[in-house]
Each structure stands twice: as structure tokens, then as C-alpha cells.
Structure 1
Amino acid sequence: MMSMMPLFLTRFRHPAQVVVAGFGLAIALGTVLLALPVSIADGASADWLVALFTATSAVCVTGLVIVDTESHWSVFGEVVIAGLVQVGGLGIMTMATVFTLLVSGRLGLRARIAAQTETKTLSMSDVRRVVLKVVMFSLVCEAVTASVLTARFMIGYGEPFARATYLGAFHAVAAFNNSGFALWPDSIMRFVSDPWIMLTIAIAVIVGGLGFPVVFELARSWRHPRRWSVLTRITVSVTVTLLVLGTLVFLMTEWRNPRTLGALDDPGKLLAAFFTAVMPRSAGFNALDVSQMYPSSWLATDVLMFIGGGSAGTAGGLKVTTLGLLAFVVWAEMRGESRVNIGHRRLPEATQRQAVTITVLSVGLVALSTYVLLALTPHGLDQVLFEVVAAFGTAGLSTGITASLGTAGHLLIAVLMFIGRIGPLTMGSALALNRRARHYELPEERVIVG
């Protein structure tokens, strides 16, 4: 019997279109489920805009909300949200590939290409094995995270076993998949001084945001950095650099702010600053009141959210790999070198163009969206830019203006979350139905730059 996956794939001419359609279908299904009366805590009918926004935020593993998650949604609604986060984190194509394997026991070429697009594996022959490893690794990490959180909620806060397990599982899924959904109105601010909860969530966010190829390579050869691929070297080095710099920036900026770090002791300040530096990777939990931070901290958070996490992981944003590649391109140009070399490898020109294209599209999208949202709302530039970058970087952080953006603003943010999850280049590729090959070259003419 032919599975539904190949039939679904054959309706699209480009693998990226399958990814776009898959995420769109998941959002549509999530919207319908969240609009059901059973999903609402008080049994009333849900607003379709609220359901659409929440479903988009969940599938795109963002965490931005316009209603309080715990008080507005029933247990069924919360489970739907967690399920959408899980599907969005693993990727529609990853889940669909596993479904195809289970049903038919084989994987066709077109399905392999689609899965490769989502998982970003380097060899199509490895897609089947890699996808299964991704799923198993994700479930194991979530199980470990849930176990630690469950134990802490029971021992440290006296929660009954069932409630502690539910809280642990929900936040483990949200953390590993870099989503900022939390079952408390203040996110996790009440646990700001609890290293068990803070560090467990932070580690899950970092591991999920590194990217599956990097995690697998580190597991194989973490003792031999010289054997690491260019992808792993760039991802690890840029990630560590951003975490250290982010922690130092928040410590220096917010140290004396009585509404954030100022109320904590020195170890608590260090813990909260590190956690605050981790979350803009696209996770979105907040242990400090973001609305009370200084504008300089908002700007630093904007930069971290825009960069995001690693490629082929659960994080969003521009990706640390893109930033690292651009840094090498700039360095080579400044030195007058005709080729971009990283270690003992040469960076292909196509990869350089891809990094530049993604960056230009991302900057343009953020700038245009900020302008539109400024025109639609009465909020200032700092808050609007923060909201736009958080949506594009699929980070659930907010200065507190999400609920007051209005219908047009909410739809704009939803579109940004969608584009930010699948990536500007993937979206552009999906919309380009035809690729035209030029069979001639035009005369070259140098243009003054700068």
C-alpha cells in the first residue's frame, strides 16, 4: 500500500515547498484543535485569532502568547500545545519520514530529499538512519530533563507526583525544543534562584539549539577537537563566545537594576545573567522581568535573538553558523585573499552566497516588519523592534506588549514566526517554482563598492 507521505510529496515541485506546506498544515490543524471548546479552561468558545496565534507560536517553537497559557487553556489545550511544540521542534519532515518508515518500511527518493531539507543532513543515503537517531536523541533528552524537573518539583516545592510529572514533561518538551511556553504567568521568574530548575532548562535549551549534526559529532569525537568538521567548530566556538559575552553584558548592565539582578545575591546574579544569555538563542523562558530591563539590555537581547542557535537544531534566528561564516568571509576580504579558508578547508562560493543571502533577507524582513508594526501600534521603537526580532528569531521573549498589538499586529507577528522557523531562504526557494539556468556569461564590469 502506498503511504500518504509520497502522495503528499508528489504535489510539490521543490523539497522546500514540502517543508512550508507541512508546517502550514500543522498550524492549521493546531488552530482547529485549540479553537475547540474542550481546549478552553472555562469551556467557552475560543477566539480564532488566539487559536491561530498560539498554534503558530507552538509549531514554530516560539512561545510568544497573547493569553496566559495556564489560565486560558484546559489540560487538553496545554497537551495540544506541547504536541505542536514537539512536532515543530523535530520538524514536520522528520516526523513524516518516521511515519513513512513505520508504514511502508522504505523511503523513496523524493521523501529522502524532503527529509534532507528539514534535517540538513549532508548525505541522502544517511537520511533514514539520521532521522531515527534525531527522534531517539530528542526523546531521551526530554525524558532526562523531565525526570530532573519532576524530582525537583516534588522535593523542593511539594508538588504531588502527577502534577510534578506533568509540569516536568511539559517544560522539558518546551525547553529542549527551544520554545518559551510555561505554565506560570511569570514564566519561570519564581525559580530565579533555583539552580536545579534554571540550569536544567538552560542545558536542555543549549543542547537542543546546537543542531543535531553537531551534537552527534561531539558525541563521537568530543575528545579530539582537531577532527571536528567546520560546522562543529564554528557552531561550538560562536555559541560559547555568545554565551560568555551575553552573560558579561547582562551582568554589567543589570547588576544594580533593583527590578532585575539588583535584588539577587552575587551567585544569584551570575545564575540569572547566564540564564538570560541562554534564552535568546530562541528559547524564550525568562527568569527576569524583561519589561523592567534597561534599553541597552533589550538591544543586547535583540542581537542574541537575531543570531539564534545552531543549524539543523530546534533554535531559530540567523544561526550561529551563518554568523561564523560571514566573519570568515569578512576576514578574508580584509586580508585581500581570493578564497575563504577555515582551518584546512576552503569554503565554497555557493555557501558564501547563501550566508550573505540569508543575512540580507533577514535584516530586510526585520526592518520592514518593524516599520509596519510601528505604524500599526502606539509602542516605541525599542519595544517594537524587540517584539519583531523575538518573532523572527522564534524566541518567546517579550517586553509585555504582545497582547496589545491588535489583530493586524498579531497576524504580522504570526507570519514572522512562520518565516523565522522555516528560514527566509527556504521560504524563498519554496515560492520559486522554476529555476532557470543561464547558458551564457555577460561581460564583466567592476563597480565601486563603499
Structure 2
Amino acid sequence: MTRHQRTPSQRPRWRTGRRIPTPSSAPVPRPPSALRRTLVPRVGPRGASQRLRRFVSGVAGASPARAALLAFALVILVFTALLSLPFASRDGRITAFHDALFVATSAVSVTGLTPVNTAEHWSFAGQLIILVAMQIGGLGILSMAALLTLAVSKRLGVRSKLITQEGMTTGQIGEVGSLLRVVVGTTFLFEAVLAVVLIPRFMVHTGSLTEGVWNGIFYSVSAFNNAGFTVHPDGLESLLHDPWIVWTLMAGVFAGALGFPVVMVLLKQRWRWTRWNLHTKLTVTTTVALVLGGALLIGVFEWFNPATLGQFGVADRIQFSLFGSVMSRSGGFNVYDINDQYAETLLLTDALMFVGGGSASTAGGIKVTTLAVMFLAIVAEARGDREVKAHGRTITSESLRVAISVLALGATLILVSTMALVAITDETLQRPLFEVLSAFGTCGLTTGLTAELPPVGKYVLTALMFAGRVGTITFASALALRQRRNLFRYPEERPIIG
């Protein structure tokens, strides 16, 4: 068939830039989906929910770390609103916004600092809100981001797994889903065991079944999540003569501070040292060294102090030295007034709070692996080694740069916040520095300055608790994933260092 013998329907539809008119019976092409949304916007609850779903999905898919910050801030605002309501306070009055925001941030960031007495100010409903906030915050920031991504898109993309992997140090990208299951399962398993152990003892102390159950559940969640909140007006001072409760709380805080990646390795490999990965070895060895070293120094400093360890027998002095070392790293429970300690003990506590616990754990601070990597780098430099090595492995230069950045960022936050508190309170350096380190390390120990601060000072600590919980992890993840390719290289030159 030649070109002139074609029927009209078979002839080309485009000639010399002009389009042949389409018969009225032909279907009219629909505009693209993006144009349809622009021309005909959906209205009503269903359209709003779909737009919100697309927005959350876009944020979570583009950057789970950004989604974590958004989710963390929204969760804090929700609990702030709940704690501000009259039913949350014991006297039925509205709690001031700065106090409600402070406690909500402290609970979600599992810090434990509070400007009001938890047992005296909050009603049962208010304490229950704090309990739920501690539980949500204890799951971890990048865990919340990954779970948010899973809830929205029903799957984790490669970028989401990479960011979650870097924040949790799982070792392999395929382990991210397993780690999320370990996070949730381990949290509730440990808390259930702690509650079963604590409830009978609290029933004996209170003489009530319901109060004993409530105290056991609250302290189990507070201990494993390293929160440090108490529901007794005097803290743990009325319970310090019960070794059952003291050692159970220590065990819960120690387990929570190890980190979920370490727990996952221990569940798989048990105590077979040779099969542990480098992160697990560094975390366990550094944690044990800090706990034992801290207990030894606390015992030496406070052994004859009549206001602290000096009031107990030899066995109790050893017990509370170990208790103070464990709680200083992020636990937040204390059995005597912090202000009664000597200045050298306060300085030691400052150092332990700054280090904190393990990565991807319920503890805060710069993390024990950061300290371990920096120490190994110093040793390698002193020996003249070109590479940093540990346990038969070479630590990458990227990990060293991230450790230096996290350490510098943490020190900068502490410096700025301490100067702000000193200017606000007109105090000497000791108490403001202690409160700042407690907030940054999400520890919860206090010299009493938090309750004395004006609203502007509470806002400073609130921002520091937020940054201490999410800042270093998010910053480290961003550094680990951002790689810029340079097309040229400058000549090398050595500046004078030291």
C-alpha cells in the first residue's frame, strides 16, 4: 500500500508541525498525575491525610535522620501538651509551659533531670505519661526514624538502611531489620524481667499490691532506659538498705547502656570472644574498664566522707562505690546528696557523664567507642604507627574523623551551655558544669541547680538534652554518609601541632 492509498485512520497524525484533528470518539489523554493534583486539589480529611502521608514519606525516604529529628520534636511537643493539662498535676492546676517542656524533653531523652519533684508534683496520670515518654525515648532516635519509615512505606530503602546501619553499627546492611526486632524485643524482655524481680520487694516496702506493681514497673522502665526518674519523694534514700533493689537497678542500667548492637551480637555469639565484632569488643572492654575504674576512684575519694560512703559499713561502701560508678555514666539514680561529695569526686562524675554509654543504647554522652577510638589513636601516634589497630583489626580513617568530630561537637556544646548557665545564675563553675554535663550525657544526676533555674536557664538545659540525645548520633551518621568527590588535590603541608 502506497502513501496515497492509506485510509485516513492509517495516515500519520503529525505533518509539518500541525496535528490532524482527532475524531470526537477518540479518548482524550489525561494530564499527568502531578498536573492533576495541581489542577484539581483533593479536599477533605482523606485528601489531607494523603498529603500528610506523602510529606512524611518524602521526609523519611530522603533522610531518616531528618525524620528522626522531626519525630523526636513532635513527640516532645505532644508530651509537653499532656503534662501541661490539669489532670497531670497532683493539685489539679496547669503546669507552667517551661516546666512541662523540660520534663517532657527529659523523659523522651531519658535524662531524668526535673525541676519539680516527680512524686509530689505529678498525679498518677502525670507519672504514667512520663513512663510512656521514657519508653518511647528509650527505643532510640534512629530506631524511631527507621520504624517511621517502615510504618509509612512498608519497607526500608537502601539509603534508610545505610543511615540506620551507620548509627547503629550493625556491621552489615542486612542486619538492620534484625536489629529493629532486637531493639523492641530486648527492651520489653529486660523490662519484664526487672519488673518481676522488683515488684515483690516493693510490695514488701509499700505493703500494697497495686503500689508495689506500679513501683516495680516504673523503676524497671526507668532503669533499663537509663532515665533515672523516681516516684519516691526522697529518691532512693529510703531503699538504699535493700541490696535486692540496688543491684537490680544497677543490672538494668548496665544492660541498657551496652547498646542494642552489642546485645544482638551477644545473643548470637554468646560469650565466644573470637566471634565478636570490633564494636562489641571495644564497647564491652571500655565499659568494664570505666565501671571498675570509676568505682575504685569513687571509693578512694569518698571512703572516709561521713556524708557519703563514710556513713556505711565496708560492704556497703564497696556496693555504693560501684553503684555510683554505674549511675554516673547515664543511670541517674543516687543514694545520697551529690553536693556532699568532694570536689574530686564531682570532677570524676563529670568525666563519666561526658563519656556516657554504648552506641545505639539508652545512654547518652559521646559514647564509649568514641573514647576507645581516640585512646587507640593516641597510642598509635605515640608508637609511631601509621594505622590505628585494635583486636586484629584496622580502624578506618573515616571512623577516626567521625570520633574527632563527635568529641569536638560535644565539647563545644558543653562550653557554650556552661557559659550561658554561669551568666544566668551567677554561680561558680562547678554546679553549672555538672548540670550541663548531666543534661548532655542524659544522665539525670543533679546538684539541685535545675530546680533553682529561671525559665531561660531551663530552656538552655532543654535544648542541651535534645542535642545530647540526637545531636552526636545524627551528626556522626551524616558525616559517615556524606562523601564528596574531589577532582583535584592540593599540595601537602604539615602545620605545627602541639
Instruction: Settle same-fold status: TM greater than 0.5.
Output: yes
- 1:52 and 2:84 equivalent? no
State the partner residue of 2:13: none
Query: SS state of the match for residue 341, structure 1?
Result: strand
Q: In structure 1, which of residues 303, 313, 317 is the aligned counterpart of residue 361 of structure 2?
A: 313
Aligned partners of 1:392 and 1:421 also within 8 Å: yes
Q: Residue 357 and residue 329 in structure 1: after superposition, are their counterparts in 2 closer, same or farther (change >3 A)?
A: same
Pairwise CA distance, 1:430 = 6.8
Pairwise CA distance, 1:377 = 0.6
- 1:69 and 2:118 equivalent? yes
- 1:229 and 2:277 equivalent? yes
State the partner residue of 1:220: 268
Q: In structure 2, which of residues 421, 432, 444 is the aligned counterpart of residue 384 of structure 1?
A: 432
Pairwise CA distance, 1:66 = 0.1
Q: In structure 2, which of residues 378, 391, 398 is the aligned counterpart of residue 330 of structure 1?
A: 378
Worse-superposed segment, 401-410 or 307-316: 401-410
Query: SS state of the match for residue 282, structure 1?
Result: helix
Pairwise CA distance, 1:189 = 1.9
Worse-superposed segment, 389-398 or 286-295: 286-295
Q: Distance in 2 between matches of 1:299 and 1:105?
A: 48
Amino acid at match of 1:208: G
State the partner residue of 1:193: 241
Which residues in structure 2 correspond to 1:259-338 (within 5 Å)?
259-338=307-386
State the partner residue of 2:491: 443
Amino acid at match of 2:100: A
Aligned partners of 1:134 and 1:212 also within 8 Å: yes
Q: Distance in 2 between matches of 1:206 and 1:432?
A: 28
Q: Distance in 2 between matches of 1:439 and 1:116?
A: 29
Pairwise CA distance, 1:123 = 3.0
Q: In structure 2, which of residues 197, 201, 214 is the aligned counterpart of residue 148 of structure 1?
A: 197
Q: Distance in 2 between matches of 1:425 and 1:314?
A: 12
Q: Distance in 1 between matches of 2:136 and 2:51?
A: 19
Q: In structure 2, which of residues 82, 85, 88 is the aligned counterpart of residue 33 of structure 1?
A: 82
Pairwise CA distance, 1:94 = 2.6
- 1:209 and 2:249 equivalent? no
State the partner residue of 2:408: 360
Worse-superposed segment, 260-269 or 99-108: 99-108
Worse-superposed segment, 124-133 or 299-308: 124-133
Pairwise CA distance, 1:4 = 7.0
Q: Residue 335 and residue 123 in structure 1: after superposition, are their counterparts in 2 closer, same or farther (change >3 A)?
A: same
Amino acid at match of 1:223: W
Aligned partners of 2:353 and 2:443 also within 8 Å: yes
Residue identity over aligned pairs, in percent, reads 41
Pairwise CA distance, 1:5 = 7.0
State the partner residue of 2:58: 10
Pairwise CA distance, 1:22 = 1.6
Pairwise CA distance, 1:2 = 8.1
Q: Residue 178 and residue 217 in structure 1: after superposition, are their counterparts in 2 closer, same or farther (change >3 A)?
A: same
Amino acid at match of 1:376: I
Worse-superposed segment, 425-434 or 210-219: 425-434
Pairwise CA distance, 1:96 = 6.0
Pairwise CA distance, 1:271 = 1.1
Aligned partners of 1:193 and 1:272 also within 8 Å: no
Aligned partners of 1:6 and 1:110 also within 8 Å: no
Q: TM-score, normalised by structure 2?
A: 0.85
Kindly name which structure, 1 or 2, has the bigger radius of gyration based on alpha carbons. 2
- 1:127 and 2:176 equivalent? yes
Q: Distance in 2 between matches of 1:304 and 1:195?
A: 24
Worse-superposed segment, 119-128 or 253-262: 119-128
State the partner residue of 1:79: 128
Aligned partners of 1:176 and 1:208 also within 8 Å: yes
Q: Distance in 2 between matches of 1:209 and 1:314?
A: 6
Q: Residue 225 and residue 297 in structure 1: after superposition, are their counterparts in 2 closer, same or farther (change >3 A)?
A: same
* 1:124-158, Cα deviation, whole Å (9 max, x unpaired): 32222220121011101000101111011113x14
Q: Distance in 1 between matches of 2:481 and 2:257?
A: 31
* 1:20-44, Cα deviation, whole Å (9 max, x unpaired): 1121111111111111111111111
State the partner residue of 2:69: 20
Q: Distance in 2 between matches of 1:131 and 1:208?
A: 15
Pairwise CA distance, 1:55 = 0.5
Q: Residue 212 and residue 408 in structure 1: after superposition, are their counterparts in 2 closer, same or farther (change >3 A)?
A: same
Pairwise CA distance, 1:394 = 0.5
Worse-superposed segment, 197-206 or 12-21: 12-21
User: Any unmatched runs of 5+ in structure 1?
Assistant: none
Q: Residue 110 and residue 344 in structure 1: after superposition, are their counterparts in 2 closer, same or farther (change >3 A)?
A: closer
- 1:339 and 2:387 equivalent? yes
Q: Distance in 1 between matches of 2:312 and 2:432?
A: 29
Amino acid at match of 1:379: E
Q: Distance in 2 between matches of 1:119 and 1:3?
A: 31
Which residues in structure 2 correspond to 1:398-413 (within 5 Å)?
398-413=446-461
Worse-superposed segment, 251-260 or 56-65: 251-260
* 1:59-100, Cα deviation, whole Å (9 max, x unpaired): 111000000011111111111111111111102553564576
Pairwise CA distance, 1:263 = 1.0
Query: SS state of the match for residue 93, structure 2?
Result: coil
Query: SS state of the match for residue 146, structure 1?
Result: helix
Worse-superposed segment, 224-233 or 242-251: 224-233
Worse-superposed segment, 120-129 or 195-204: 120-129
Worse-superposed segment, 390-399 or 92-101: 92-101
Query: SS state of the match for residue 11, structure 1?
Result: helix
Q: Residue 440 and residue 64 in structure 1: after superposition, are their counterparts in 2 closer, same or farther (change >3 A)?
A: same
Q: In structure 2, which of residues 220, 226, 229 is the aligned counterpart of residue 181 of structure 1?
A: 229
- 1:254 and 2:269 equivalent? no
Q: Distance in 1 between matches of 2:328 and 2:379?
A: 26
Q: Residue 434 and residue 270 in structure 1: after superposition, are their counterparts in 2 closer, same or farther (change >3 A)?
A: closer
Aligned partners of 2:113 and 2:450 also within 8 Å: yes
Worse-superposed segment, 299-308 or 438-447: 438-447
Aligned partners of 1:19 and 1:93 also within 8 Å: yes
Q: Distance in 1 between matches of 2:193 and 2:473?
A: 34
Pairwise CA distance, 1:387 = 0.6
Q: Distance in 2 between matches of 1:5 and 1:169?
A: 35
Aligned partners of 1:19 and 1:114 also within 8 Å: no
